[in-house]
Amino acid sequence: MAGSLSDALEIKLLDHVLKTTPFSVPTNIYVALSTTDPLDTGAGIAEPSDGYARIVMDSWDAAASRATENTNQITYGQATADWGNITHWAIYDAVTGGNFLAHGDFTVAKTAPIGTNLYIAAGDIDVTFSAGGICDNLANKLLDHVFKTTEYTPETNLYVGLFTTSPTDSGTAGTEVSGGAYAREVCNGWDAAAAGAT
3-state DSSP of the chain: CEEEECHHHHHHHHHHHCCCCCCCCCCCCEEEEECCCCCCCCCCCCCCCCCCCCEECCCECCCECCEEEECCCEECCCCCCCCCEEEEEEEECCCCCCCEEEEEEEEEEEECCCCCCCEECCCCCEEECCCCCCCHHHHHHHHHHHCCCCCCCCCCCCEECCEEECCCCCCCCCEECCCCCCCCEECCCCCCCECCEC
Residues whose CB is less than 8 angstroms from the CB of residue 171 and which lie 6 or more positions away in sequence, other chains included? 135, 136, 137
pLDDT digits (tens), the chain, 198 positions: 679 999 999 999 999 999 999 999 999 999 999 999 999 999 999 999 999 999 999 999 999 999 999 999 999 999 999 999 999 999 999 999 999 999 999 999 999 999 999 999 999 999 999 998 899 999 999 999 999 999 999 999 999 999 999 999 998 888 999 999 999 999 999 999 997 666
Taking the C-alpha atoms of residue 186 and residue 30, their distance in angstroms, rounded to an integer, is 38
Provide the whole-model pTM.
0.93
Give which of 131, 145, 165 is closest to 12, Cα–Cα.
Answer: 145
Per-residue model confidence (pLDDT) at position 1: 60
Distances (CA, A) of 183 to 160, 178, 180, 190: 9, 8, 9, 20
Residue 96 φ/ψ, nearest 5 degrees: -135, 150
Residue 103 near residue 88, CB atoms below 8 Å: yes
Per-residue model confidence (pLDDT) at position 172: 82
Residue type, 84: G
Angle of the 136-146 helix axis to the 7-17 helix axis, nearest 10: 110
Per-residue model confidence (pLDDT) at position 173: 81
Per-residue model confidence (pLDDT) at position 2: 76
Residue 89 near residue 125, CB atoms below 8 Å: yes
